[in-house]
Structure 1
Amino acid sequence: MMTKVLLVDDDRELGEMLTEYLDQEGFAATAVQDGETGVRAALSGAYAIVVLDVMMPGCNGIEALRRIRAQDRRLPVLMLTARGDDVDRIVGLELGADDYVPKPCTPRELVARIRAILRRTQVQEPDGASCGPLTAGALTLWPERRSLEWQGQPLELTSTEFNLLEVLVRNAGRVVSKQELSQQALGRPLARYDRGIDVHLSSIRHKLGLDAEGRSPIQTVRGLGYQLVRE
């Protein structure tokens, strides 16, 4: 079956063009022109990923994302943002967007980002690989189930947050550069001035909280990257 993509953008002409291109690339794309309809469609369970424009009248992309994430933390959401608009971009990431593409963008770039996100969210364990959990201190993560527990309790993360934490768990005790994190968790090279990794990790830290000594299990190593402390 073809992967279903929901495109939410009030620009009807752009929506038709992107839908046609996505269909040619093997996706089953549906375009809607307003945030209210987009939220309902996204929460229907019919789509593998949502492409959501920030600038829409009425229920804009930020509000639509907020409402989607209130009910579904795992559905991948790719934001379309105005080029150079860092505020909307950071707010979107803080609310749980998986990634963003600045507009105007080429259909080819959009498809590449969609595929990169889906590769990570629909990852399959290679033949012969262990299906057991990964552990690091009080953290237990099941890659094949895309679920995790922190201090014995289930923890809800977005798909990209899960990807980032999985990379850190697999490298527990070692510093992982932002370039490595971007390649392995987002499926793309780290762009210059890209703060997406930092925003996602800040959200993960907030959800994990602090240990008994007031420290986060994810440490920043200035100038090098991030490290998950192996307890």
Structure 2
Amino acid sequence: MSTPVDELKTAVIIEDDAEIRHILSEVLESAGFSTVSVGNGIDGVRAVLTYQPLLATVDVNMPGIDGFEAARRIRAAQSDTYIIMLTGLNDEADVVAGLGAGADDYLLKPFRPRELRARVEALLRRTSAPSHAHAGASFPSQRPAVAPAPVAAAEDAHVSLPAAASATATTDDATAADGWMAHRDLLLHAENRLVTLGGEDLDLTRTEFDLLATLLESKRRVRSKADLTLVLRGESYVTSYFVGDADKRAVEAHMTNLRRKLGDSPTNPVYIETVRGVGYRLTSELA
């Protein structure tokens, strides 16, 4: 029996402070989520794996296991829930550590409910369809191991990142027409939120997926850290949004995680190269 899409809009709150749990519940429920609240990291990990939520908020300082370890366990279980880390640690190194553990975003305590609501709304703008890892999702499993026959391009107006047309390669032309974007042996389907590397499925967080999709769509055009921050905030066309150093460090942390999963080296990149002082772009198709 499939799960209705509306039932997938669940949030798990992992927070040991009862008052903050109440505030989080109110904000998230006002955004249309059903919420599940737990008071420690171990129960929080179990709740995420049980309910497969779209969103989880994770406090850093909790009894049992802290938020960093909770995030690592959630990611180790290959859950792609969107994790917002809540921390009272106003140290950039701790924020980066949280992102390195698998968090997608962070908020410093004390936070304003309006700011949390804005982050959640940005997530909902980015999420055009449930990921294939969520219960009830049903997506095609076939991957193009070789260049498929060209097909008519399907309408995909609801996809936030359009498939990129290839400049030269026949394989890229065919995969783009079928909804796939390709770079070397890396394939990504934006609508179905699928990624393969060398023919094998690749498990990415929602943020890692969105970063990779943006770079694939942009090809050799350089995307700055500020630009990628706006993409992750769902504010791609807003030029007045303030992007601070912490936001840029967050993009760096996500990019480090993404490269590790791609088996890519910043010094000898195969897929993503750093343009020093500017940002990131795809490598050349030429070896």
Is this a same-fold pair by TM over 0.5?
Answer: yes
- Partner residue of 2:105? 99
Contact 1:141 1:166 in 2 (8 A): yes
Which stretch has the larger CA shift, 11-20 or 168-177?
A: 11-20
- Partner residue of 2:117? 111
**Structure 2 SS opposite 1:6:** strand
Contact 1:43 1:72 in 2 (8 A): no
Residues 141-196 of structure 1, C-alpha deviations (whole Å, 9 max, x = no match)? 10111111123322211110000000000001111111221111342556311201
Question: Using the alignment, how far apart are the partners of 1:36 and 1:227 within structure 2?
Answer: 38
Contact 1:137 1:230 in 2 (8 A): no
Q: CA deviation at 1:209?
A: 2.2
Gaps of 5+ in 2: 1-5, 131-155, 163-176, 236-240
Question: Using the alignment, how far apart are the partners of 1:215 and 1:108 within structure 2?
Answer: 40
Question: Using the alignment, how far apart are the partners of 1:32 and 1:160 within structure 2?
Answer: 24
Contact 1:133 1:142 in 2 (8 A): yes
AA partner of residue 219 (structure 1): E
Question: Using the alignment, how far apart are the partners of 2:18 and 2:264 within structure 1?
Answer: 47
Q: How does 1:96-175 map to 2 (within 5 A)?
A: 96-123=102-129, 125-126=156-157, 132-175=179-222
**Structure 2 SS opposite 1:43:** helix
Q: CA deviation at 1:72?
A: 2.3
Q: CA deviation at 1:138?
A: 2.2
- In structure 2, the CA distance between the partners of 1:81 and 1:216, relative to structure 1 (3 Å rule), is farther
- Report the aligned-residue RMSD: 2.3
- In structure 2, the CA distance between the partners of 1:191 and 1:83, relative to structure 1 (3 Å rule), is farther
- Partner residue of 2:48? 42
Question: Using the alignment, how far apart are the partners of 1:61 and 1:73 within structure 2?
Answer: 15
Contact 1:8 1:51 in 2 (8 A): yes
Matched, 1:4 2:58: no
- In structure 2, the CA distance between the partners of 1:48 and 1:99, relative to structure 1 (3 Å rule), is same
Question: Using the alignment, how far apart are the partners of 2:276 and 2:185 within structure 1?
Answer: 25
Q: How does 1:184-223 map to 2 (within 5 A)?
A: 184-187=231-234, 189=241, 191-194=243-246, 195-210=249-264, 214-223=268-277
**Structure 1 SS opposite 2:23:** helix
- Partner residue of 1:78? 84
**Structure 1 SS opposite 2:221:** coil
**Structure 1 SS opposite 2:223:** coil
Give the count of matched residue pairs: 230
Contact 1:138 1:151 in 2 (8 A): yes
TM-score by length of structure 2 reads 0.73
**Structure 2 SS opposite 1:145:** coil
Q: CA deviation at 1:215?
A: 2.9
Contact 1:178 1:225 in 2 (8 A): yes
Which stretch has the larger CA shift, 144-153 or 103-112?
A: 144-153
Give the greater-gyration-radius structure (CA). Answer: 2
- Partner residue of 2:278? 224
Gaps of 5+ in 1: none
Q: Percent identical across equivalent pairs?
A: 39
Residues 19-71 of structure 1, C-alpha deviations (whole Å, 9 max, x = no match)? 12322333222322111111111111342210111111222111111111110
AA partner of residue 153 (structure 1): E
Which structure's residues are more often strand, by fraction? 1
- In structure 2, the CA distance between the partners of 1:152 and 1:171, relative to structure 1 (3 Å rule), is same
Contact 2:69 2:101 in 1 (8 A): no
Contact 1:23 1:29 in 2 (8 A): yes
